[in-house]
Structure 1
């Protein structure tokens, strides 16, 4: 699933030790609700197949009381869990609303870059680890190139591997 709903992460207070205000805003987009309905119905259909009959005594979840599309959405909203791979909380771009620029520099704070899954515009369809490693590799290239440009005497022509 590639969710379209967008949540928010905001400062809770001026105190840097204070927890942020996080609203994942799951299912805000109608497409996400529709995909949840379809997924639950597909799982139910799969469990009703003849090949599984000997192993399935009765439906436990979501349960026989879940029938309408709204029932399915309500069930998803109350039972779904996250994989804890948040992404996209620090939008990258060239416009005024972007949090980081294409060089991964945090807008408004010199010397700070954001180098993690938060700059991804959308969640990838796999574990976020590989994509985050690629972001880190690109950041290393950007930082190395910046140092080479500003202080060429401090950087060898070729980095040892």
Structure 2
């Protein structure tokens, strides 16, 4: 059975309620018509919210992958750089294993992966190298905050 995106399923239910069920209710049942219309509106709202969450998480995931690439590119060849590279490899593996269908857990996994790399950078690199390596991770955090604000309808 193919995977159906929850936002698409909710949109289909909302359309069915609004176009088929609501139109089948007798005119003397205005209250029931209004209730079905309200339910349809709620399902449409949830559909848009889920769709927006999916887009936000994909945006965060892409930005984190880019940040990890940028951190890796900024590393030297010494032993401390190898420890940070190992943390990046582990973070990538954790992201790959994460269940992307569970939005809350997936977002937590993205954040946990970024924090693990932050910690490795702070522990292993000297001040100048650490500052340079942290910048892409800060950019990821900026993207994360901005996508959350966008979901809330704020700027």
TM-score bracket, normalised by the shorter chain, equals: under 0.3
Q: Which has the higher helix share?
A: 2
Scaled by the length of structure 1, the TM-score of the pair is: 0.27
Scaled by the length of structure 2, the TM-score of the pair is: 0.28
| Higher RCO, Cα 8 Å, sep 6+ | 2
